[in-house]
Amino acid sequence: MNAKEFVNTLFKGYEETAALADFKEELLGNLNAKIENLVKKGMDAQTAFEKASAELGDVSALADELSLKKRKEVFEEVYMDIRNFMNAKRVAGYVVLGVLAVFGIISALIIFLSTHGVFAAIGWSANSGLNGLLSKRLLFFLTPAVAGFTWLGLTQETASAYPMSKKRAIWYALSAGLIAFGVLILSAVYFTAKGSGLELLSAINMIIPFALPGIGLLVFLVLTEKDRLKPWAKDRRDKAVKQEMEKWSDPATASRFGMFSGAIWIFALGFFVLLGFLIGFKFSWLVFIFATAVQLLVQGLMSKRA
């Protein structure tokens, strides 16, 4: 094996890019320089090659001799640049769906601005008819946009994950479309029927045939989903999980977090009762939202410190 073959084996399996080719050329030059230096000292060529390649070692150990910035650029070009996974058809799909969604929103705004005065003049109760019209306009544009974005996002390879199969992504797109359609048509029916006394019942009737099946399908897909992470990302995730488990299994850390958590929720419960008597229990439950946020903040700060 000569120096060039040795350098090629170091990057076996890497995607060949212009930046990687430059890096390999620089590495080869560095290796040849070492070999020449050893030969000048009286060592035969084969022994000099073996010694120089052994000293070369891991590529990551060459940061002091080679350009660290260039190695970073190689890694980002090979693994992180989203353009490596975005062909022209996919970009066009994102653009078309984005235009469709924006067109639906703009057309709804145009209707609102052009007819607001008319509805106000005839005294339409709370502009319910107008709100129903806007919801219907959004319905026909945002629903396919949501489904399309879901399919494109799931079938797109990223730096850390492989793309989902197109057939499975269709089911995800269908569930997202059903949920979006159910939410939007619920809004349209509610505002259209407002004032009749049946608006809530009519809206609930729209959830059953659309949103509920979509949610059920989404839950099934999520629970049966396979891991699509690439090996390096999976290894990084496993290491992070292991570190977190080791960190929180420490008795001192767990004890501190338990005391902080207990104090937060005792204070929240007391504040909930106090506000309940002062301003009413209708709003005092919001204390628990803030308590949850504070606990997550404390957990994050403790995790960062550890």
**151 in Cβ contact with 172 (< 8 Å):** yes
DSSP, residue by residue, 238-270: HHHHHHHHHHHTSHHHHHHHHHHHHHHHHHHHH
Determine the Cα–Cα distance for residues 243 and 248; give it in Å rounded to an integer. 9
Residue indicated by tokens 């909930």:
272
CA angle at residue 97 from 96 to 98, to 5 degrees?
Answer: 90
Determine the Cα–Cα distance for residues 97 and 145; give it in Å rounded to an integer. 5
pLDDT score of 304: 62
Two tokens, residue 32: 């040849």
Q: Could you tell me the sign of the dihedral formed by the alpha carbons of 129, 132, 136, 142, in that order? A: positive
Amino acid type, 175:
S
DSSP 226: P
pLDDT score of 113: 65
Determine the Cα–Cα distance for residues 146 and 221; give it in Å rounded to an integer. 17
Strand partners, 161: 229
Coil/strand/helix, residue 161 = strand
Determine the Cα–Cα distance for residues 284 and 129; give it in Å rounded to an integer. 35
Determine the Cα–Cα distance for residues 40 and 32; give it in Å rounded to an integer. 12
What is the residue-level pLDDT of the chain in tens, covering all 306 positions?
A: 677 887 777 766 655 666 667 777 877 887 888 888 888 888 888 888 888 777 665 554 444 444 445 555 555 555 555 555 678 888 899 999 999 999 888 877 776 666 555 444 444 444 444 455 566 677 788 899 999 999 999 998 877 788 899 999 999 999 999 998 888 877 777 666 666 566 666 667 767 788 888 999 999 999 998 888 877 778 778 887 787 777 666 677 777 778 888 888 888 888 888 888 888 777 788 888 888 888 888 877 776 665
